[in-house]
Structure 1
Amino acid sequence: MEKIDKAIEEMKEESKKRDEKFEATIERIDRENKKRDKIINKLLKQNQQILRTLENLTESFEQEAIEHLEYVIKSKFNVDVELYRFEIPHKLEIDIYGEFGNYVVVGEVKARAGISTLKKLEEKIEKLKAYKFGIEGKKIIPVIYAMTVTKELADTCRQKGVYLTNGYKDYTLLA
């Protein structure tokens, strides 16, 4: 009986040590989880700040493009035109849009533009024709305003009559 009691005591002691180790592990995991959660929350806040900054930069870049194009149109056609962002919710977003006389300006604004930007602009123009009545018969002036452009894009825009500029340099002519 004494051996059984001793074995039971040893088992209780081992169980107690295991429970203590388990509790210590749980506490360590909880501390690590709290540290991780703090880091994640900090990263989420930083990510939100970056997104707000990027959104503000995008808006100011688009506004710069609009103002530049309004100036160019005034200089070339002697017409005051109001350009703006045009949206049909869930269907179409155009960075630069405006109408004057028998013309419709449709533009895409990008920091870096390649041939895919031109394809995207052409797709938007086709969608616009389908959604916006009253522009049929008007001359569409396609525009890409981009800080950096590829040679392939400049060559293709020249061939297709798309006005390509970065605000400082015109890669193609405004037709």
Structure 2
Amino acid sequence: MFTELKSKIIELLKEDVEFRYAVAGLLGLEEILRRLDKHDEKFNEILGVLREHTAILREHTARLDEHDRKFDEILTVMREHTARLEEHDRKFNEILVVLKEHTARLEEHDKKFNEILIVLREHTARLDEHDRKFNEIIAEIRDIRKELIEVRSYIERTSLTLEEEAWEVIAGRFRRIGMDVKLSRLVLPDMEVDIYGAIGDLCIVGEVSTRVGVRIVESIDEKLTKLKDRYPELLKGRILKVIYTMWATEDAVEEARRRGIWLLKALEDLTPPPYESIV
């Protein structure tokens, strides 16, 4: 019961102002309560201002928190950028080291290149000198070729004259024994014979050369073999092998004698005629 009464009184004090003043008057506190009410009003005003300031402060705090968050983000980005810049600095320093190495290598290459240029100039000078000497050699070769052409022409003219001389000398030897034989050059598709002629059953086959060695002597039998194989109709009965020359080696003379070849000059028989009837 007492507890309920107490609760009721407290509730009235909270809700009923007149009851609260009456009680306060009874207690001698009316003036104090009025002053307290004024204080409450001022306090409430202050509370209102404080609430406004608190709201502003909260807003400022929120904005500061947002600024702090953004500042932290900026700091994080700056740290990342700083780290990246440091990495870039490291790589840049590495690149500088490599560039210095490359610069040193390029300088070395330049030095070697200059050395190569010097060698190339020397080689060019030597090549120019070789070209000059080569051109001189070419000129000499042209002169030699010209001389060789002249010599060849002379030899051809001499050979032709020597062939005619051979025909005349050999034919004259035959005329001495009463045989009139006509000698000439035999020209075939695949071979040539300097001395060729036939009379009766005698066929004369031979060569003309200003100088006679063993090889010329051997060639007579080789040509005879070809004639027998390819042109048998040109060979009749007995065959007289003959070589007319201006000079012959001793070996050639011996080989001609061994093969039964008449080797002669204009005024001399180097080997005897193979037939006793020819003097």
The reply to whether TM is greater than 0.5 is yes
Percent sequence identity over aligned pairs: 23
User: Does 1:164 pair with 2:259?
Assistant: no
When Rg is computed on C-alpha atoms for both structures, the one with the higher figure is 2
* Match in the other structure for 1:66: 167
**SS in structure 2 of the partner of residue 94 of structure 1:** strand
Paired residue for 2:137?
39
- The verdict on how the C-alpha distance between 1:85 and 1:44 changes in structure 2, with shifts beyond 3 A counting, is farther
Gaps of 5+ in 1: none
User: 164-173 or 55-64: which moved more?
Assistant: 55-64
Task: Give, in whole Å, the separation in 2 of the partners of 1:69 and 1:22.
Answer: 69
Q: Which amino acid aligns with 1:23?
A: R
In structure 1, the partner of 2:243 is 144
Higher relative contact order (CA 8 A, sep 6+): 1
Contact 1:144 1:163 (C-alpha < 8 Å) held by counterparts: yes
Pair 1:112 & 2:201 matched: no
Q: Is the alpha carbon distance of 1:28 and 1:138 closer, same or farther for their aligned partners in structure 2, counting shifts above 3 Å?
A: same
- Correspondence for 1:132 among 222, 228, 231: 231
1:44-98 deviation per Cα after TM superposition (whole angstroms, max 9, x unaligned): 54145325514424443333322322322333334151x2222323x32222112
The 2-side partners of 1:144 and 1:10 are apart by 77
- Tell me the number of residue pairs that the alignment of Structure 1 and Structure 2 aligns: 167
Q: Kindly indicate whether the alpha-carbon contact (under 8 Å) linking 1:92 and 1:128 is maintained by their aligned counterparts in 2.
A: no
1:25 equivalent to 2:123? Answer yes
Change (3 A) 1:72 1:51: farther
CA-based RMSD: 3.2
Match among 15, 22, 26 for residue 113 of structure 2: 15
Give the C-alpha shift of residue 102 in structure 1.
3.4
Cα gap change, 1:48 to 1:65, in 2 (>3 Å) = farther
Question: What is the TM-score normalised by the length of structure 2?
Answer: 0.49
Give unmatched runs, 5+ long, in structure 2. 1-95
Say which structure is richer in strand: 1
Alpha-carbon distance change, 101 to 49 in structure 1, aligned in 2, over 3 angstroms: farther
**For the Cα contact (< 8 Å) 1:86–1:93, is it kept in 2?**
yes
Contact 1:148 / 1:166 at 8 angstroms: preserved in 2? no
Alignment CA distance shift 1:19-1:154 (3 Å): closer
Q: CA deviation at 1:121?
A: 1.0
Deviation at 1:41, TM superposition (A): 4.2
